[in-house]
Structure 1
Amino acid sequence: MIALLLALGSSLAYGCADFLGGLGARKAHVLRTVMIAAPTSFAVEVVLWPFLGASFSPATLGWGAASGVASAAAFALLYRTLAIGPMNVLSPVTALMSAALPVAVGLLEGEHLGAAGLVGLPLALAAVVLVSAGHGAGSARPSRTALLLALGAGAAIALQLIFLHQAPADSGVAPLIIGRGVSSAVTLAAAGLLRGRLGSERPAYGLATVAGILDSVANLLFLFAARSGDLTVVAVITALYPAGTVLLARAVLGERIHRGQLLGLGTAAVAVSLLALA
């Protein structure tokens, strides 16, 4: 139950971070927003170091760095996917991939689910697709390149979570510090190389900063959830992060929640209830 609650908190934090980051990216090039959010997230994790502890063993350094590279790759692939579109088709593909791959890894590692879990897990995967799908998801057909990019983005997100899960359980927040440090360095390097294409618009500093803080909280909650529960359950609950984005868009921007998304939210509630009994 503790792992489930932590995973739900992680999902909500990821969804809020995506929403705020998306708002910030409307005002300036998305890379300008990430240039603020990623180092902010890194700083938060460094501040937490004295309180939560960190052990920088070789295994921790390796898995943490791998998660950072995967995180940077996820950003690049998502950005390219967004440029090609249509995102109302590709977003569910990315979200489902980000959930399914960790589930497969968890099952291969010998994790077992009870009867409730065997029903709740596929329901949660279905909810991920329904919640992340926008209106008219079947109206546009993505190209093969766009579909491959969406699958790659989902795989990169999944690998980030898997690598964090593989880090030693007694390493504290060290995997997060290393991972976010690596991804921040990669992001800043990319911004330097592409500085001529970023435009002159100023980013929304406040939104980007809060998004970075929430991203750090989401990473921390996922790490604790994965250490106290099964990766199969934690990963799929975390992948419900589009629900938080959808609800915030409704509350703040007045965006309409479509019928499929409402069905997805209800399916998610049933799935979480079943997984709590697993």
Structure 2
Amino acid sequence: MIALLLALGSSLAYGSADFLGGLGARKAHVLLTVIIVAPASLAVELLLWPVLGASFSTTTLGWGTASGVASTAAFALLYRTLAIGPMNVLSPVTALVSAALPVGVGLAQGEHLAVAGLAGLPLALVAVVLVSAGHGTGSVRPSRRALLLALGAGAAIALQLIFLHQAPSDSGVAPLIVGRAVSSAVTLAVAGAMWRRLGSERPAYAMSAAAGVLDAAANLMFLLAARSGDLTVVAVIVALYPAGTILLARAVLAERIHRSQLVGLGTAAVAVGLLALT
């Protein structure tokens, strides 16, 4: 139950962070947003170090670095995807891909589910599909380029979660710190090399920093959930994060929620209930 609650919290935090990051990327080049988001996330994780501890073994450094590289790609691809829009179509597509890969890894590593979990897991994946089925902005459909970006973002998110899960369970927040330090360094280096091509628009500083804080909270809750539960269950619950993005897009941007997306949200609630019984 604790793992499930942490996964739900992580899902809500990811969804909110993605909404703010995608919205910020509409105001300036995506890299200008990411160079604020990543360091803000790192700052929060460094503050958590004295509280939760950290052990920087060679294995932890390796998996943390790998997660940081994947996170850098995820940031850039996802925020660019959401900037192109529509958010309430592309975000669920990304989530579906980000769920499938960790679930496959968890099953391959020998994780087993109870009867309720065997029903809840596919139902949760169906919920993600239903949420992604609605074209919430009416006649507006995503371009092929936007869909490819969404698929790439989903794969990068999945790899980040898988790499974090592989880090030693007694490493504290070290994998998060290493990952965010790497992603911050890579992002700043790329932004520095491309500085003249980033445009003169001012990034949304407060919005981007808030996205970074929420991202740090989401990463922490995922890590704790994965350590206390099965990756198969935790990953699919976290993959429901588009619900938060969609609801915020509806409230702030007046993007329409399609009927199938509403059914998907209801299906997700049932799936979470079943998974809670495992």
**Normalised by the size of structure 1, how large is the TM-score?**
0.91
Deviates more, 1:130-139 or 1:202-211: 130-139
1:186 is matched with which residue?
186
Q: CA deviation at 1:87?
A: 7.1
Write the distance in 2 (CA, Å) between the matches of 1:132 and 1:38. 27
User: Which amino acid is 2:201 matched to?
Assistant: E
| Aligned: 1:115 with 2:115 | yes
Write the distance in 1 (CA, Å) between the matches of 2:153 and 2:27. 24
Relative to structure 1, the CA distance from residue 177 to residue 123 in structure 2 (aligned partners, 3 Å threshold; closer, same or farther) is same
Q: CA deviation at 1:128?
A: 1.6
8 Å CA contact 2:92–2:242 kept in 1: the answer is no
Q: CA deviation at 1:165?
A: 0.4
Write the distance in 2 (CA, Å) between the matches of 1:38 and 1:141. 27
| Aligned: 1:197 with 2:201 | no
8 Å CA contact 1:71–1:160 kept in 2: the answer is yes
Deviates more, 1:82-91 or 1:181-190: 82-91
Write the distance in 1 (CA, Å) between the matches of 2:152 and 2:28. 25
Relative to structure 1, the CA distance from residue 27 to residue 161 in structure 2 (aligned partners, 3 Å threshold; closer, same or farther) is same
8 Å CA contact 2:173–2:220 kept in 1: the answer is yes
Look up the SS of the partner of 1:27 in the other structure: coil
1:40 is matched with which residue?
40
Write the distance in 2 (CA, Å) between the matches of 1:92 and 1:255. 14
Relative to structure 1, the CA distance from residue 36 to residue 147 in structure 2 (aligned partners, 3 Å threshold; closer, same or farther) is closer
| Aligned: 1:99 with 2:85 | no
Q: Which runs of 5+ in 1 are unaligned?
A: none
Q: Which runs of 5+ in 2 are unaligned?
A: none
The within-5 A match list for 1:246-261 is 246-261=246-261
8 Å CA contact 1:71–1:157 kept in 2: the answer is yes
| Aligned: 1:60 with 2:79 | no
Q: CA deviation at 1:258?
A: 1.5
Q: CA deviation at 1:216?
A: 0.2
Q: CA deviation at 1:119?
A: 1.1
8 Å CA contact 2:91–2:242 kept in 1: the answer is no
User: Which amino acid is 1:130 matched to?
Assistant: L
8 Å CA contact 1:59–1:168 kept in 2: the answer is yes
In angstroms, what is the RMSD of aligned CA positions? 2.3
8 Å CA contact 1:85–1:142 kept in 2: the answer is no
Write the distance in 2 (CA, Å) between the matches of 1:81 and 1:187. 17
Write the distance in 2 (CA, Å) between the matches of 1:175 and 1:202. 32
The within-5 A match list for 1:74-223 is 74-78=74-78, 91-135=91-135, 143=144, 149-223=149-223
Write the distance in 2 (CA, Å) between the matches of 1:148 and 1:251. 27
User: Which amino acid is 1:232 matched to?
Assistant: T
Identity %: 81
Look up the SS of the partner of 2:169 in the other structure: coil
Write the distance in 1 (CA, Å) between the matches of 2:199 and 2:11. 32
8 Å CA contact 1:121–1:236 kept in 2: the answer is yes
Write the distance in 1 (CA, Å) between the matches of 2:214 and 2:89. 26
Q: Deviations over 1:4-26 (max 9, x none)?
A: 00000000000111111122222
1:269 is matched with which residue?
269
Relative to structure 1, the CA distance from residue 56 to residue 93 in structure 2 (aligned partners, 3 Å threshold; closer, same or farther) is same
Q: CA deviation at 1:34?
A: 1.1
Relative to structure 1, the CA distance from residue 141 to residue 192 in structure 2 (aligned partners, 3 Å threshold; closer, same or farther) is closer
Q: CA deviation at 1:257?
A: 1.7
Look up the SS of the partner of 2:4 in the other structure: helix
Write the distance in 1 (CA, Å) between the matches of 2:212 and 2:4. 23
Q: CA deviation at 1:131?
A: 2.3
Q: CA deviation at 1:178?
A: 0.2
Write the distance in 2 (CA, Å) between the matches of 1:34 and 1:250. 24
Q: CA deviation at 1:93?
A: 3.5
User: Which amino acid is 2:214 matched to?
Assistant: L
Relative to structure 1, the CA distance from residue 146 to residue 36 in structure 2 (aligned partners, 3 Å threshold; closer, same or farther) is closer
Q: CA deviation at 1:196?
A: 1.5
1:232 is matched with which residue?
232
| Aligned: 1:22 with 2:22 | yes
Q: CA deviation at 1:261?
A: 1.2
Write the distance in 2 (CA, Å) between the matches of 1:88 and 1:194. 30
Q: CA deviation at 1:185?
A: 0.9
Write the distance in 1 (CA, Å) between the matches of 2:264 and 2:16. 18
